[in-house]
Amino acid sequence: MDPDASIDARIDDLHLDLLACLSRVYGAAAAPAVADRLVALARRTHAARPADLRALDERRLAAPDWFQRPGMLGYAAYADRFGGTLAGVGERAAYLRDLGVGYLHLMPLLRPRPDPNDGGYAVMDYRSVRPDLGTTDDLRALTTALREHGISLCLDLVLNHVAREHAWAVAARAGEQRYRDYFYVFPDREMPDAFEATLPEVFPDLAPGSFTHDDAVGGWVWTTFNDYQWDVNWANPDVLCEYAEVVCFLANLGVEVLRLDAIAFLWKRLGTDSQNQPEVHDLTRALRIVARIACPALLFKAEAIVGPTQLPAYLGVGEHAGRVSDLAYHNSLMVQVWSMLASGEVGLATLALQQLPQPPATTAWVTYLRCHDDIGWAIDDTDAWRAGLDGAAHRRFLSDWYAGSFPGSWARGLVFEENAATGDRRISGSLASLAGLEAGDPHAVDRILLAHAVVLAFGGLPVLWMGDELGLPNDPHWAEDPAHAPDNRWVHRPVMPWPATDPHGVRARLRHLVETRGSLPHLHAATPTEVWDPRDPGVLLVVRRHATGPLLAAFNMTDQPRRVDADVLHWLGLHVPGLRDALTGAAPPLEHGSVPLAPYSAAWLMAH
């Protein structure tokens, strides 16, 4: 198809959707003018798009499920800690490809303000790269090199705020009204006090309150996260158009996925917590429409670490179904895996995971065990009550267990951001150290592989955190860098050791899991995930159905032998002579019709 005809067809197809989103946010009278600006931007972006990226667009349009396929594996890392520079990351592309990686998320690398910069999330220029990592040309070269290895690059795009040193904020402080209108600025404390009556504090110890007085701008500025991060005013359509330009700029450099950081905070509403407001989903959908017109190879990933009831909206529900973001983090799965490993009980996890609806068939959860951040124990009190637990008590138990202070704990984590008012504590630590490897526990490697087996079988796009494939423990030197010393999350952000060795055999066994997953059509992200009520309180049961027959993934979350009961096999039609475990490639042993499970082991059961 002629490229111009292709974009015309997409505009015709999506223009009414764009108008509808903009009308709900800005009103019917203002929407057409904003839509015209965005469509004109999409045309300019498409016209300037390099030929190889236009070809990629066509391939993605022809195979829109490319990121949902069972052969897809993600990896996340800091560029400087993985390869030193962007060029150094490119030199490690073959290592990633050999692991099975087809998606690489590099942590914030757009130019931030000088330290402190919230780990790079206080961006002062969306169109340039951290000087120590390289240049914009180096970024373009990296996306090209990765694409040659079949790897798509994901970058962070911070949507809620910019650094105080960003050009928009500098202009606002200089008195330019146009840019002052890009932010929330109040002359006195009347409105900040009114908003703060219902606003939770994100960093109550490090950055109390949600507003900061700035003498240069002459008022109180909304600063949700830190005093140097100014929240932008998405009620101003100029802000939407600015960010649409940034999206298109990065897409034309070859970036294929944008992680939309702090997305839940975009819309402010008096009398609420100013999170998860309906306008957030319309604004994201509008940005996605622009991308679908101009650069359809680009995906959106929502960084929405919110409650289970609020999470589905970031992939789209109702009229937004499948039209907001393509990917969203399954934070609940991560939390529940660690909860099961600590308690040896699967009842709470089963109840919690059953509450989350299936994502739209064109989208996927990002499933993971660790990331750059701490672990917050997002245990819903109602779920805990239904499982016969006290939510607050269970959260305290998990914090004690993973800090290594609970009797018998094999974990070696660090407490991060203890809330004195609620008693909640978050935990930092590498996957290996949290799983017992640092403590020398004999079951540690089995726990690491079991946890990965859950994530790989659950559905979605599984993402590994850098070094987890090697069983890297906590970095004992994390606090020696003065810039890192105040933030113990750097304990699980070690420098990648090269040459990469596999002293515990984690990588080899993980590679087997990844290869097995890639051979199973049941594990395509569009296939619904069923979490079955447990027969054994220590065994998690997950079912994935396919036209060729069901797959039963069973996980023994305890240090004792357990089993998959015969009745489960009968219900699924797996009580047949052809029963096999995809992980071993052989028929499992049977004991009175049940499949035995060794401590901390998994079985992916299916019929020939």
Residues annotated as part of the active site: 261, 303
HSE (CB half, 13 Å, CA atoms) of 594? 14
Percent of residues in the chain assigned helix, strand, coil, to nearest 5: 40, 20, 40
- The total of other beta-carbon atoms located within 10 Å of residue 110's CB is 23
Listed residue (81, 64, 106) closest to 255, CA to CA: 106
HSE (CB half, 13 Å, CA atoms) of 425? 19
At residue 474's C-alpha, the angle toward residues 469 and 480, to 5°, is 130
- Cα–Cα distance between 236 and 489 in angstroms, integer? 35
Q: Which 3 state secondary structure label does DSSP give 317?
A: coil
- Cα–Cα distance between 400 and 256 in angstroms, integer? 40
Token digits of residue 226: 């830190």
Which of left, alpha, beta for 199 (phi over 0: left; psi -120 to 50: alpha)?
A: beta
| b (16+ CB within 10 A) / e for 214-230 | beebebbbbbbbbebbb
| b (16+ CB within 10 A) / e for 522-536 | bbbbebebebbebbb
CB 83 within 8 A of CB 91: yes
Q: Which 3 state secondary structure label does DSSP give 244?
A: helix
- Cα–Cα distance between 568 and 581 in angstroms, integer? 15
The alpha-helical segments, DSSP class H, found in 50-156 are 51-62, 79-82, 86-91, 93-99, 136-148
Residue 543, H or E segment: strand 539-546
The residues near 288 (Cβ < 8 Å, ≥ 6 apart) are: 300, 323, 324, 325, 326
CB 283 within 8 A of CB 264: no
CB 167 within 8 A of CB 272: no
**Strand-pair partners of 76:** 105, 465
Q: Which amino acid is at 607?
A: A
